[in-house]
Structure 1
Amino acid sequence: MVAARLAFLRTYLDAFDQFLPQTIENAFQKADGSRSSLEQSQYLAVYGVLRERHVELRQRLHDSMDKLLNRSLQTAYSTFRPAFAGSGQEGALSLVEISVFEGELQLVAFTDRFRNEAAEQLRDLNIRIALLFGQDDIKEREVPFRPYLVSRSLADASENMGLPNELAQVLTQLLATSMESTIDGIYASVNAFFAQNGVAAELPLRIKKSLNKTASAKPAYPKDQESTVTDGKDATPSPAHYRHSTQSDVNKITNRNASTTASEQSVEQFLQTIKT
């Protein structure tokens, strides 16, 4: 990861060298096309910074990204996340806090634009980083080279130039707009570095084995035979036994009916004898 870190930082600074001339041109065009004197003066001031202090700006970009990479490598796929003092305090936001919040929203917007420009390269990079850390669950926020670091580095470098807040924001916007054209190439270079070192952008297929428990079949009673049970009290009659019992009951009822009929005939004969 140390070598990958150096490769990413070098590619990041090379991208700045590549888009710097276009950024200077964009600042001048913004100033020339502005209808507001205040806005025009801001773009002209940033134009001068880009032309005269670009070496210092490059160093600021290096320092800010270097610091961010150190921290991101320490916390990648780690449960440790430092908490900020006073983050849980309630109450109305101050003007400074509102400004910071708006700045964060701007960074989120820059990050989304970078992510869209380099979607395919980021997907492969996220897989490679997850493999290096032995993770199955891919999370972009755990990747040390995620797009948010680029957005944050641009903003931090602009703020560290000692410019007023308004000018620092204008400089950050110009840098972020220019970075969009090179962000895909940055991540393509990092992916190429990992590929050359044998880290593929493919997650291994892992099949979880599960034991299939087969239910034991219940013993079936043989047809027309009584079931064999060790305990006579719990013996269950077979279907043949039921048929045999039913036939016996029918015979008994028939015999009783026959006896009743014979008795009735004997009584009638006795009455006839008396009459005669």
Structure 2
Amino acid sequence: MKRAEILQALQATMQAYIQQQWPQLLSEVAAELIEQADRASSTHDARVMFDARATWLAFDTELHSAWLVHLQRLLDRSLVTAFRRERRRFNQAPRHNLSLRDLADVEQELALERRIANFRSEAGTTLSNLNARIANLYHQTESAERENPFRPYVICGSLALGISELDLLEDVSEVLQKAAANRLSTRVIDLYQQLNAQLESFGIPVKLPAQGRSRSEKKSSKSRALQPIDSPTVTATIPTALAAQASQLPRSDLLLRWI
């Protein structure tokens, strides 16, 4: 099979898996929000949990549809940019003073990064194996999560964007995003196992070929490597760059800009 056909098959598997898991995810998130409300330290926090649960159940169809739309959008973009070098660096973004709204947007992105890190932890070696197989599919000698079109960032980012479309109160939206991501993260290892098995069936190995470059060439290449939004090494550089963009772009375009 050609690379494009393999990627289309993987994309179909991911989308079908999310479709299949949605009913159970809907139920589990609702149950988790009830438990969180029972453990809440204040009446206000409990009310936020109950409001989040009511919203989650009342708008389940809209949430599901919005999530799938944004998942498709991020997947399409990721498939286009995989192993391409012309992405912008964060330090190329214009710098401005941070407003209170900018800081709120930055905090949302940092919260998203924490959820991505949780997905990464839950996935374990299934993610690193998938990264390696994707690199082999592109005939690369080095793997990188950033180049994997099916990485946690795409799943978490699309879910966050889907929930954001409801235009909820900030605290309710954040509670929903966190609870939904927590429940979804327990399934990511199963999803990545399926994608790995599918790639293996297509003859794509997990072992990368020996690299032909010298150590100095590798070091030079690494020094030029781009730092993505979903890389675990760039958390400290996120605020200034994202804040500079946040006042000019809607959040969905902001996430796409760095994918």
Give 2:140's aligned amino acid: Q
What residue is the counterpart of 1:81 in the other structure? 87
Cα distance in 2 for partners of 1:49, 1:101 equals: 24
1:16 and 1:179 in contact (8 A); partners too = no
Q: How far off its partner does 1:174 sit?
A: 0.6
Task: Please tell me whether Structure 1 or Structure 2 has the larger radius of gyration of its CA atoms.
Answer: 1
**TM-score, length-normalised on structure 2?**
0.74
User: In the TM superposition, what are the counterparts of 1:220-235 in structure 2 within 5 Å?
Assistant: none
2:179 counterpart residue number:
174
Amino acid at match of 1:200: P
Where does structure 1 lack aligned partners over 5 or more consecutive residues?
209-276
Name 2:159's counterpart in structure 1.
Answer: 154
CA drift of 1:9 comes to: 1.9
For 1:121, which of 85, 110, 126 is the aligned residue?
Answer: 126
C-alpha contact (below 8 Å) 1:60/1:161 kept by paired residues = no
2:110 pairs, out of 105, 108, 120, with 105
User: Residue deviations 1:112-167, cap 9 Å, x none?
Assistant: 11111111111110111101111112111111011111221121111012312221
Residue in structure 2 matched with residue 10 of structure 1 by the alignment: 16
Distance 1:206 1:41, change over 3 A: closer
* Aligned partner letter, 2:199: F
Q: Equivalences for 1:1-276 in 2 at 5 Å?
A: 1-81=7-87, 88-205=93-210
| 1-structure distance, mates of 2:212, 2:162 | 47
Q: Secondary structure at the match of 1:176?
A: helix
Distance 1:131 1:144, change over 3 A: same
How many Å separate the matches in 1 of 2:115 and 2:160?
A: 10
Task: Tell me the distance in 1 between the aligned counterparts of 2:96 and 2:55.
Answer: 39
Asked if 2 retains the 8 angstrom alpha-carbon contact of 1:11 and 1:189, the reply is no
Alpha-carbon offset, residue 87 of structure 1: 6.6
Shift of 1:15: 3.1
1:126 and 1:195 map into 2 onto residues whose CA distance is 13
Q: State how far apart, in whole Å, the 1-side matches of 2:151 and 2:188 are.
A: 11
Contact kept in structure 2, 1:127 and 1:202, CA below 8 Å:
yes
Number of residue pairs aligned between Structure 1 and Structure 2:
208
Aligned CA distance change for structure 1 residues 134 and 166 (closer, same or farther; 3 Å): same
Looking at structure 2, the residues matched to 125 and 89 of structure 1 have their Cα atoms a distance apart, in angstroms, of 35
Contact 2:141–2:211 (CA<8 Å) still a contact in 1? no
SS of aligned partner of 1:14: helix
- The Cα offsets for residues 62-100 of structure 1, whole Å up to 9 and x where unpaired, read as 11111100111110000122579x974334201111011
